[in-house]
């Protein structure tokens, strides 16, 4: 298990660490599988957007890590990651809790050799305690499984309620430790995710106003969200006002909108891309889904305002929390 510097330890000089990472990447590149090294570029580039005020620009489509861990075999997981990379995806999502670490292990193995060419994110989740000790243990395990010495983004995962947020943001809580790791240089940026209750995300923003300055927030954004416990209407404007990067997830409500005929995957993606989001994190299960979603993002314009209004009006009668079970 990788060791994390104690709070009293000075951070390694960023320039030295960058040189070492570039050298490691160059050495590993020579041994990459030929199918990845020689993969033909996808036609056209994915649009890029700013990640809040971080100074980073990223392709707007990201790969959700949960489905990497759900792949039938590690070979299938590798194909999923390699397809995403060849399609121009550079944002890779994960969490230590996904399949008890399997998603991180498989993604780390698939990204070895191209680690410095991607933006790698994972998360810490300990609903019972939300303390620094648990976060430290999770970070050490994540770095080991992902085969890296740093994270581009580390997030407090799945805040559920106002009380949950307050546990994490207390002295000695998980968020204090997360911010400390940013100061030490172990993680570049930090964030908060929540998909259950907008009130929890808004409480985290109240802490941001008090000086707990995280860089991004990840939350569900999709056409049906507009009609019920809406993150788009309640939280999104507050993120934009503060310049916090917006990571959209569950853009098709975990597949429910398409599978139940509410709207298509293309409609969902184009709807969310019309919002002020930085990256759309999509839970894609197969290389074919990766290629389809990448083609939609490359070739289809975000919805116009009139198209968005028409879609919202059309699906309003279908609204119900059974479509967004994660909010219940």
pLDDT at 9 over 50: no
What is the mean predicted confidence (pLDDT) over 29-42? 37
Strand spans (E) along the chain: 48-50, 57-59, 61-63, 91-92, 119-124, 151-156, 187-193, 216-220, 245-249, 279-282
**pLDDT at position 157, please?**
98
Read off the pLDDT of residues 188-204 as tens digits, 9 standing for 90 and up: 999 999 999 999 999 99
Is the confidence at residue 33, as pLDDT, over 70?
no
pLDDT at 10: 36
User: How far apart are the C-alpha atoms of 199 and 248, rounded to whole Å?
Assistant: 17
What average pLDDT does range 78-103 have in this prediction? 98
Question: Taking 80 as the threshold, does the pLDDT of residue 161 lie above it?
Answer: yes
Helices 132-146 and 102-111 pack at an angle, to 10 degrees, of 40
| Selected residue with higher pLDDT from 17 and 96 | 96
pLDDT digits (tens, 9 = 90+) for 286-302: 999 999 999 999 999 99
Which pLDDT does position 2 carry in this prediction?
Answer: 53
Q: What is the pLDDT of residue 38?
A: 31
pLDDT at residue 1, rounded to an integer: 54
What is the SS3 string spanning 33-48?
CHHHHCCCCCCCCCCE
| 224, pLDDT greater than 80 | yes
pLDDT range class, residue 22, cuts 50, 70, 90: very low
- Per-residue confidence (pLDDT) for residue 282, from 0 to 100: 97
Q: What is the pLDDT of residue 23?
A: 38
Q: Name the residue among 257, 245, 307 with its Cα closest to residue 283.
A: 257
Cα 320 to chain centroid distance, Å, stands at 26
The pTM is what?
0.88
Whole-number percent of the chain with pLDDT over 70: 87
Task: Calculate the alpha carbon distances from 235 to 66, 176, 213, 303 in Å.
Answer: 24, 23, 16, 21
* pLDDT classification of 32: cutoffs 50, 70, 90: very low
pLDDT in tens, 105-145: 999 999 999 999 999 999 999 999 999 999 999 999 999 99
Are 188 and 154 within 8 A, CB to CB?
Answer: no
Mean pLDDT of the chain: 90
pLDDT value at position 7? Answer: 43
Contact 28, 113 (CB under 8 A): yes
Please classify residue 17 by burial: count the beta carbons closer than 10 Å to its beta carbon, then call 0-12 exposed, 13-18 middle and 19+ buried: middle
Q: Decide if pLDDT at 30 tops 80.
A: no
pLDDT band of 3, cuts 50, 70, 90: low
Percentage with pLDDT > 90 across the chain: 86
Q: Does 27 score more than 90 pLDDT? A: no
For residue 24, pLDDT over 90 is answered with no
Window from 19-28, 46-55, 216-225 with minimum mean pLDDT: 19-28
Going by pLDDT thresholds of 50, 70 and 90, the confidence category of residue 25 is very low
């Amino acid at each position: 298990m990788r060791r994390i510097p104690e709070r009293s330890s000075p951070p390694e000089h960023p320039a030295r660490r960058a040189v070492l990472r570039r050298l490691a990447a160059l050495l590993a590149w020579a041994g990459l599988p030929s199918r990845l090294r020689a993969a033909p570029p996808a036609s056209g580039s994915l649009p890029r957007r700013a990640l809040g005020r971080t100074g980073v620009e990223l392709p707007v489509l990201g790969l959700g890590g949960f489905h990497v861990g759900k792949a039938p075999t590690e070979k299938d997981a590798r194909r999923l990651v390699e397809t995403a990379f060849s399609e121009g995806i550079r944002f890779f999502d994960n969490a230590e809790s996904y399949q008890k670490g399997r998603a991180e292990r498989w993604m780390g193995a698939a990204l070895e050799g191209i680690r410095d060419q991607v933006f790698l994110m994972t998360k810490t989740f300990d609903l019972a305690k939300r303390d620094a000790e648990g976060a430290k243990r999770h970070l050490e395990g994540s770095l080991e499984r992902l085969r890296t010495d740093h994270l581009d983004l580390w997030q407090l995962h799945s805040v559920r309620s106002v009380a949950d947020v307050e546990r994490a943001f207390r002295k000695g809580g998980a968020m204090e430790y997360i911010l400390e790791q940013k100061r030490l240089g172990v993680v570049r940026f930090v964030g908060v995710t929540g998909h259950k209750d907008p009130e929890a995300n808004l409480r985290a923003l109240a802490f941001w106003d008090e000086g707990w300055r995280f860089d991004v927030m990840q939350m569900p954004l999709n056409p049906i969200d507009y009609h019920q416990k809406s993150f788009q209407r309640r939280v999104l404007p507050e993120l934009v006002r503060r310049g916090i990067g917006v990571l959209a997830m569950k853009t098709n409500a975990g597949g429910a909108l398409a599978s139940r005929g509410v709207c298509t995957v293309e409609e969902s993606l184009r709807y969310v891309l019309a919002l002020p989001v930085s990256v759309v994190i999509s839970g894609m299960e197969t290389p074919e889904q990766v290629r389809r979603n990448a083609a939609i993002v490359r070739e289809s314009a975000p919805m116009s305002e009139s198209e968005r209004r028409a879609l919202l009006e059309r699906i309003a009668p279908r609204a119900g929390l059974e479509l967004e079970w994660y909010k219940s």
